[in-house]
Amino acid sequence: MGISMIQAILLGLFACLASLPGMGGTTIGNYTLGRPLVGGLVVGLILGDIQTGIIVGAAIQLVYIALVTPGGTVSADVRAVTYIGIPLAILAIRAQGLDPNSEVAAGLARSLGAAVGTLGTVLFYGTATMNLVWQGIGWKAMDGGNWAAIKKTVPLVDFVLPWISHIAFSFIPTVVICLAGESMVGMMKEYLPMDGVAMKTLFTVGSLLPAVGVAILCKQVVQKSLDWVTFGFGFTLAAVMGCNLIASALIAVFFALINFKVEQIKLGRPAIAAAGAALDDEEEEDI
Amino acid sequence: MADLKKVSTAARQSAFLRWIYGNLTCFSQEHMQTFGYLAAMLPVVDELYDNDDAKVKALSTYRTFFNTEPQIGTMVVGLTVGLEEARANGEPLDDDTINGIRAGLMGPLAGLGDSIIVGTFIPILLGVALGLSNGGSILGPLFYIIAWNLAMYFGMKFAFDQGYELGGSAVEALVGPQSAALRDSIVMVGTMVIGAVAATWINITTALSFQFSADSGLVLQDTLDSIYPKALNFFFVWLCWYLMTKRKMSPTVVMGLLVVVALVGVLVGFFDPGLSY
């Protein structure tokens, strides 16, 4: 028993909503619909077996219970885990006649979820890369300086155009893989091996790109070469001394406080000097 | 300029809703939440300024890269709404000050949000929900959906309003007689935090190693680490900055270059993510 076209389309739609940069938004999309437990309910509703859906979702949820994605580094893609992994797991459990509540079924669900989750990181990079095109349209409007155009384009870029990325990288893959079933996952693994040049380059680019974003920030705050020392200080706190961002920020505030006091004293001095220049000279001579 | 301009409740609500929905919708690795930010600030800027040039100029402030834990980061958006309101009333706030505040807040707030909301609050809710969904009961997922969304909506609304009020009162300090010293210090915090962000959120390593003989070899990453940990992160940030400021390249061109660097690096064995299915 497979998945019908309508069911696949519904799963594809939810995949668009639930991705990490998803069309359902962060709170409702990623953190609600993208949680495997909630996804289990949704997939169960679509496939007409709520109970199995929730059992499978709960089994997979345990693996990703504290999935933190610091700074957009993705280790597993929730849209793939939830809206490709759970349907496939339900199919596999049915096909093999397993009891959904059993440990074997849970293990099967988890390994399928993990496999498509890793595969899904490709979808994540695909979506994020295609969004660059829409952002390009946005920048062009901003550069143009025409307010009426900006007012129309910015919401279009943020709310509407990313749907195209999701049709390409969430909707179509989900529909195709769900229709094709488990054999599809094995085939993709074969055609896009992780040790091939294409996948290696993809993941390397993914690790290099955040440097551009941070460099744009540096452009903003680094005014003179010496500012790189300040940057390097923060970098060293995190890289060498192992401070996390909160600790680094606290130390930064402490030094900024000292800087502020020094500047304040500098500000105060001309006033004192103006009020009693002669007095100031005498005092210095006394010392 | 008899009356002070004030952002209407409707415009504030619009900015809030746009942010909580659209903070990540147009995510890219280069500009993670920047467009969500622009979209959120748009109704506020549109209301505060009278002529189009001023609107364009004000919105352009928020073109710089932004990324944090977006739910707790709602506070930063509220804060800048407050600051923008003050600026529209003639307070001399410049782009560097506003962006210094944004940069200084986004790192620590991301750390706080990732650890408190994503790392603690969600697992607790899910833990309870998993217990409730024993045997496939619908109670578990329903509990999570309701508890999480209610908590987040009101939590984010609170953060936004608090940020907005804070923005108004922070202005006093930012434009007072000691503003230059304070501004300087804020930018200093921003620069240090960006440094820490570069060391934390970027992860560039090399897989290159040389084998001279059976028992002597050189793993380049280890050598680099012994010189300066995460040196490649620093190098690539500096390189991108250099290309953009000194060579006047656009970020898109720099990214194109990075793709070439990645491809060549993979081919010569310098880069290897070492992943497997």
Give the span between the Cα atoms of B275 and A253, in whole angstroms.
39
As a whole number of angstroms, the longest Cα–Cα distance in chain B is 83
pLDDT at B36 > cutoff 80: yes
Is the domain of A93 the same as that of A173?
yes
Structural element, H or E, at residue B218: strand B216-219
Is the domain of A37 the same as that of A123?
yes
Give the span between the Cα atoms of B152 and B158, in whole angstroms.
10
Arithmetic mean of pLDDT, B119-133: 84
Residue % of chain A over a pLDDT of 70:
86
| Touching A: B residues 200-219, CB under 8 Å | 200-204
Q: Give the closest of A211, A227, A252 to B237, CB-based.
A: A211
B173 inside 8 A of chain A by CB: no
End-to-end CA distance of chain B: 65
SS3 B1: coil
pLDDT at A281: 46
> Angle at the Cα of B235 (from B233 to B241), degrees rounded to 5?
105
Is the domain of A67 the same as that of A21?
yes
pLDDT at A284 > cutoff 50: no
Arithmetic mean of pLDDT, B85-90: 91
pLDDT at A189 > cutoff 70: no
Pairwise pLDDT comparison (B179 vs B142), residue with the higher score: B142
Domain that holds residue A244: 222-275
Q: Do B20 and A65 touch (CB under 8 A)?
A: no
Is the domain of A187 the same as that of A266?
no
Is the domain of A247 the same as that of A202?
no
Chain A: give the shortest CA distance to residue B125, in Å: 10
Is the domain of A163 the same as that of A198?
yes
In a domain, A105, yes or no: yes
Cβ contacts (< 8 Å) between A219 and chain B: which residues? Answer: 241, 244-245
pLDDT band at A283 (very low <50, low <70, confident <90, very high): very low
Cβ contacts (< 8 Å) between B114 and chain A: which residues? Answer: 68, 70
Count the neighbouring beta carbons within 10 Å of the beta carbon of residue A189. Answer: 15
The DSSP call for residue B4 is: P
Cβ contacts (< 8 Å) between A38 and chain B: which residues? Answer: 141, 144-145
CB-CB contact of B74 with B159 (8 Å): yes
Picking from B97, B122, B193 by the largest number of A CB atoms within 10 A of its own CB, the best residue to mutate is: B193
B154 inside 8 A of chain A by CB: no
B218 backbone dihedrals φ, ψ, rounded to 5° = -140, 120
Task: Work out how many domains chain A is built from and give that number.
Answer: 2
pLDDT at B143: 94
Is the domain of A156 the same as that of A45?
yes
In a domain, A247, yes or no: yes
Count the neighbouring beta carbons within 10 Å of the beta carbon of residue A36. Answer: 32
pLDDT at A286: 43
In a domain, A217, yes or no: no
**Which of these three, A176, A210, A244, is where a domain ends?**
A210
Give the span between the Cα atoms of B19 and A9, in whole angstroms.
28
Give the span between the Cα atoms of B150 and B162, in whole angstroms.
18
Burial of A252 (0-12, 13-18, 19+ CB in 10 A): buried
Arithmetic mean of pLDDT, B185-195: 86
Is the domain of A19 the same as that of A154?
yes
Structural element, H or E, at residue B219: strand B216-219
pLDDT at B277: 59
CA quadruple A231, A234, A237, A242: dihedral positive or negative?
A: negative
Q: Give the closest of A200, A216, A255 to B64, CB-based.
A: A216
Pairwise pLDDT comparison (A191 vs B44), residue with the higher score: B44
Q: Give the closest of B59, B114, B267 to A197, CB-based.
A: B267
Q: Which two tokens stand for residue B134?
A: 């024993």
In this predicted model, what pLDDT tens digit does every residue of A152-171 receive, in sequence order?
Answer: 999 999 999 999 999 999 99
pLDDT band at A270 (very low <50, low <70, confident <90, very high): low
Q: Which chain B residue's Cα is nearest to A263?
A: B181
**Which of these three, A158, A186, A210, is where a domain ends?**
A210
Q: Which chain A residue's Cα is nearest to B37?
A: A158
Is the domain of A42 the same as that of A164?
yes
Residue % of chain B over a pLDDT of 90:
48
Nearest alpha carbon to residue B195 among A228, A262, A266, A54: A228
Is the domain of A173 the same as that of A261?
no
Q: Do B20 and A27 touch (CB under 8 A)?
A: yes
Give the span between the Cα atoms of A75 and A234, in whole angstroms.
26
Is the domain of A155 the same as that of A32?
yes
Give the span between the Cα atoms of B260 and B274, in whole angstroms.
19
Burial of A129 (0-12, 13-18, 19+ CB in 10 A): buried
**Which of these three, A179, A210, A241, is where a domain ends?**
A210
Mean predicted lDDT score pLDDT of chain A: 83
Count the neighbouring beta carbons within 10 Å of the beta carbon of residue A206. Answer: 22
Q: Give the closest of A27, A37, A207 to B130, CB-based.
A: A37
SS3 B217: strand
Count of pairs with CB atoms under 8 A, one residue in A, one in B:
422
Q: Give the closest of A51, A204, A230 to B262, CB-based.
A: A204
In this predicted model, what pLDDT tens digit does every residue of A218-258 receive, in sequence order?
Answer: 887 788 889 999 999 999 999 999 998 788 889 999 999 99
Is the domain of A143 the same as that of A118?
yes
